[in-house]
Every structure is written in C-alpha cells, then in structure tokens.
A and B are shown apart, each in its own frame.
Chain A
Amino acid sequence: MGKPDSRRGSLGLFVIVVLAGAGTMIVELAAVRVLAPWFGTSAAVWTNVIGVVLFALAFGYLVGAQLAARERPQASLALALFAGAAFTAWLPSLAGPVAGFFLPSGVTLARAGDLLIWGSLATSFALFAPAALALGCVGPLAVECLHRQSGEHAGSAGGRVLCASTLGSLAGTFGTTHYLLPTLGIAWTFYLAAAVMASLGVLSWWLARPRSTLGALPLLLAGSAVLGHGYGGPQLGEDTRLLESIQSPYQFVRVVERGEGEQLSRQLQVNEGFDSYQSVWQPQPGLLPPGYYYNYFALPAWWSHAEGDWSLLVLGLGAGTAWRVLEGTMPEGAHLDAHGVEIDPLVVSLARRWMDLPEDGENHRTLAGWDARAALSRDERKFDQIILDTYANQMEVPPHLSSVEFFELVEARLTPGGWLSINIGGFALDDPVVSAIAETAAVAFGSEALLLRVPFSRNVVAYLRRGVPLPTPGSSTWALPDGDVSALLAPCEMEGRWALMEPPVVAPLSDDRNAIETLQRRSLELAAAQIAAHKLR
C-alpha cells in the first residue's frame, strides 16, 4: 500500500473507531431506556446494564485480539461491524418479547423485588451482550489494521485508537441523552446506530478489498429489523386506551384512559411496567375515589383553618393531580396559590394536553425541567404547604430527595406552622422505606412525623410541621368540620392505621449515606412475605 493509500486507510479507520465508540455508548444508554418500562431505571438496573456491557466488551476485546492475528483483520473488522449493526437493529423488536420472557404480565409490584434485579440482568445479557461483544472486537482489530498499514508501534496505534474510541463514546453519551432519544425515540436511535455501524462495515469491507460478498448478509439482517415491530413499551390492559406516548430526555411517558362518562379517568404513566401510575385525572377537580393518596394532601389546609392565600409547592408535580385535589377541596375563604416543580418538561406538556394542567398564570406557576432540590435551593420563597411526591418509575425515590440535608432545606422553605406532606410507598407503618424517610424528615424538622396509612392503597402519607405540634387522633386539633375531607380521617383513627414517629438521634438517610434503594427492595420483600403469611389454619 502506498503512502496516500495508507493515510486514507488510517483516516477511514479512525472514522470507524470514533463512530463505533459512539455506537457502544448509544447501545448502553439506550439500553437502560429500553428496559425502563419493565424494570425501571434504579441503580440496580443501571449496574446490570453497565456490567453486562463491560463484560461483553471485555469478551469482544479478546475475540478481536484473536481475529487480529488472522490474515485480513480489515475484513474481520467489517464483519464485527456488520454483526454489531444486526444485533443493534433488532434490539427494539426483541426488547418486548425478551423482557416479557423474564418479567411476565400479571406480576404485581409487591412481588417484583427479585425479578427486577435478576430479570434486568438476564434481559441485558440476552439483548445487549451480542451487540457489545461485536463492538468490542472493533478496537483490537482497528489497532492491528493501523499497525499493519502505518507500521506504527503497537502502543502508539493502541493509544490513538483508544483516544478516538473514547472521544466517540463521549459524543455518543451526550448525543444519545440530549438529542437522539428525545428526537428520534428509542427504536430509531437504535436503527440509526445500526445504520451507521453497517455503513462503517461497508467502508471497512471496501478498505479490505474482499473476495466475497458474504459479509453483506448481516447488513441485510440489520435492514430487515426495521421492518419488524419496533419498540412500543409494555402492553396496555384490555380496558385501557392510549391517548399519547412520548420518549422524553428522562423517560418513556404515556397518558392512558379508562372508563366512560363519570367513571372516566386518565393516568400518566412513566416507565410503568406494573400496576402503578404517576398522576391521575378525573373530569372534576376535588377528591378522588377512595384509595388515592392525593386526597390526604388536602388535610393540612383544613387542620390549619386556612383563610386567604394558601401557598402550595408540589415537588414532583407530574400532571398536577395534587393541585386539582386541593383546588376542589380548599376550606371556604381560602384559595390556592399553586406552585409546582417537575423535572420533565414533556410531562408538563402532556399534562396540559390531556390532564387539564393549567398554563402558568397568577395562581399557577410551574417550574419545568428542574430537579426539585435544585429548584428549592434557588427559591427563597416560603410556602404554607410543601408536598413531596418525587417518585421515578414504579417505586424509586431519588436518594438526594430523601436525605436529611434535603429535608432541612424543605423546612427552611416553610412558613411558621407550615406543613410538609410526603407520599411514601410502603406496605405498613413499620415498612423500612416509610420508617427511614419519616425518621429522616423528623430529624431535619426536630419534631415528630405523623404517619397515616391511606385506605385501600399501599401508600402512607407523612406530615411534618414547622414549629407547631401535629394533630393526632383524639386531640382537639385533629377533628374537622363534617364533610368529605373530614371523612378521610375516620379510617385512619383505628389502631395500627396511624403513628407518630419520633426523631431518632441520627437520621437514617443522608447525602453521604443513603440506602434508600436497598430499603425499597426490602420493602417489596416484606410485602410479599406479608401476603404469603396469610394462611388458612
């Protein structure tokens, strides 16, 4: 090969390496999004995906090292790229069947603990390992090609290839999260990555000047994948209608509808693979049917005998369910000054289209695209009530929104006598997640937390108050004037349905030490054990 040929070949190789590096990160980052509707995006799922991809890459490096010793590494490189393209192109179509194989329908959240971990691991292996393995071959083969073409030292060639590959991975990382997924969605992100890899394969094949055209076979396989079913997330129930679904920079979001007439209701679901939801809507504002924890956010305004403006901040606004419940239940003479923080702007857009979330105005202000803690840090205003409802997926509480430092910040944003109301997913008052969050908040507030179990649900609402004692069943401050809101109290007055949580000496959850994910898994295990413990003697 002459010098210009060698230079052209090296340039081609670097293009291949950069784009293959980007492809690896596209597969890895989009992989978590593919799994999210079934398994969530907890640290355990991320760990499984990253672990499997690293493992497959290591295997790929080894395979690449073997192939590099063969006569025509450039042709092997082309084959690796074709294989990577084919495996990547089929990911959207295979995701549903494979995830469904390891997480069948009918599994309830209470029983999903181990399945979330093992299912996501097995699914990651089956789906992503082949593509990552193929892409892992690219590095060693590229080094070998470069070394043979230019006569560079192996170390020099390896270093330059690593640099190019890592820069490509960097571009793939940012591009996937901030551009590809929100713009193209999951399926077309994979198709694009596959198309790029297939094109690189053609380039590599051309550089190798092959004697056969068999290498085009994986290209055809990759192409045929686009004709498959694509990616649609988990199936809807028979009685559920899909109104709209989108891929946001954060998650898969959809609005579904059930029932007719007065029974009509809509739910906003975010990566929901189980029997859960993020927000709910019914035609009229006000209390929802029994079993919805949002109703219990209405109590503080009544306990405080609110008059005039009642300033409310909802952290984790979602589609604004808490706003609608409070709007329909405020005590006479009080009116709602509603603020909300929602991290995902597309959730807000969907909510405005389908769930009557008001546009910003005098009494409604939405801060979209902000993390709750970041928003709270920058806003010096004080509120009469702050509602914390910042769940991701089915059950994931972000650690930085459950730490003592966070709750100290919340307390500082409350007026004297102001309320913090927290929705906590938990199966009992002594559920590990409920205890940890309530105790942590109690430490931050320096006072007790009141816990109420929401009837017909697996939720507990915790109340804390700044500088004023909490009402408890039997106390003079507990009872409310007769009405729909006061009726919420009666089921909670029974023994075992409410508790006062004393602040412990040390907060269980902090920014430094936060085991919330472990506690969530423990909570699910205990719930399954609780159900299994019911026996006919």
Chain B
Amino acid sequence: MRAALLGSVLLTVLAFPAFTSQGGVAEAVRWVGEGRYAQALDAATKLGSAQERGQAQLYVLHHAGALNEALEAGLRGLDAAPDDAWLLDRCAYLAISLGAGSLARELCIRLEEHATPEAWEAAAWMLDEAEALEADRTAEALALSRARWSAALFGLASLVLMAWWGRRSPHSKSSTPRAPSVSVDGGMP
C-alpha cells in the first residue's frame, strides 16, 4: 500500500508544558531535540510520576512518528491525571489524526472543560473535526449495513423470482407451426 501521510500530524509545534520542563522530562525533551529518540524514550519511561511519564512518552513518540503508541501513552497519562489539559489536547489531536472520532470527541469535550480561554478556539476546532470524523464513521457503518442488506436482498429476491419463474412451465402461445421432429423447447443450458 502506498499510503498517504497519516493526516496532518507532521510535527505541528509540540510545545511541552512549562511546568514539567525540569528533571527527567527535560532530559527527554533534550534528547528529542538532538534527534535521539531511543534515549528520549528511555528517559521518559523512567519517570516516576505517571502524569509526567505519559506526557513525556507522548511527546517523544509523537515526534518520532509513532502515532498509535503516542496516543496510548497519552491515555495512560490521563488515567493518572484526567484533567491534564496538555494531555487532553495532544491526545485529542492524535485521535483525530488516527481517525478515532468518538475518542477524539470525548477528549475534546473534557478539554473544553479544562482548557484555558486561549485554548478554547483550538479545542472548538478539534471538536468540530472530531464530530466530522464521527459522522464519517457513522456513514461508514451505515454504508456497510446498506451494502450487506442490499446484496442479500438482491440475491434473495432474484432467487425467489427464479424459483417462482422456474416452476412455471413455459407453454406455447405460438401460432407458428413447429417442426415435427422437435420435442424439446429451445433454451440455453
């Protein structure tokens, strides 16, 4: 598959929350700045606080282009800190990028409750995107159900008609005299 890029996730500015820019988190951020993601992930994984670990792992993995893993790390961080606005924002963004509409919507709604006024606009934009994605997923599910039912109905209706028609013995209304030697009605096998 020659796949398209996964959405618009190409390294938007991933500013890290200022309050965590110290200690182990700072080390992870520094490694990312140097393009050394394996070391950065090691540093992030060693962090004691689940919230900081989630933040740092998401930051590293997102920069490294591992989107599924970054989202999973962010969600683990949210287990420990459900109201962390930075994690909510980043997770919502990743969920949108991965096409997980309903998750993105949940995250956006929670984000709107906890975001600062400056972040409301971004949160509202993401909520719109999430709802559009959800609508796409709903349309998808409907289309699949439509396709299954249509195919089944077409097939069944045709079979029933064929059975009904097949039982009716063709009788000649022809006024044309038939050749005496013919005893079988014409028809394709």
Contacts and interface: CB of A to CB of B under 8 A. Distances in A.
Interface stretch (A58-66, A187-195, A214-222, A347-355): A58-66
A285 interface: no
B181 to A, nearest CB: 6
B70 to A, nearest CB: 11
Contact of B65 (A58, A65, A68, A291): A291
A115 B147 contact: yes
A496 B66 CA distance: 9
B130 interface: no
Nearest to A148: B176
B41 interface: yes
Interface residues on B, range: 35 or more
B144 interface: yes
A126 B154 CA distance: 8
A531 B71 CA distance: 10
B121 interface: no
Interface in A439-491: 453-459, 473, 487, 490-491
A115 B140 contact: yes
A152 interface: yes
Contacts of B11: 290
B10 A69 contact: no
A12 B24 CA distance: 88
A59 to B, nearest CB: 5
A66 B168 contact: yes
A347 to B, nearest CB: 13
Interface stretch (B13-21, B46-54, B98-106): B98-106
Most chain-B Cβ atoms within 10 A of its Cβ — which of A129, A290, A495, A534? Answer: A534
A458 to B, nearest CB: 4
Contacts of B10: 289-291, 456
B154 A290 contact: no
A374 interface: no
B185 A494 contact: no
B27 to A, nearest CB: 16
A351 B166 CA distance: 55
Interface of A: 55-56, 58-59, 61-66, 68-71, 73, 101-104, 106-111, 114-115, 118-119, 121-123, 125-126, 129, 136, 139-140, 143-144, 146-148, 151-155, 157-158, 161-162, 275-279, 289-293, 389, 391, 394-395, 423, 425-426, 453-459, 473, 487, 490-491, 493-497, 530-532, 534-537
Closest 6 CB pairs of A and B: A455-B65, A425-B1, A151-B179, A106-B136, A69-B170, A143-B186
24 contacts: A55-B155, A61-B188, A62-B165, A65-B187, A68-B187, A70-B173, A71-B174, A102-B146, A103-B147, A104-B136, A104-B143, A106-B139, A122-B148, A140-B188, A144-B186, A147-B179, A158-B188, A275-B3, A276-B4, A290-B65, A291-B10, A456-B6, A456-B9, A456-B10
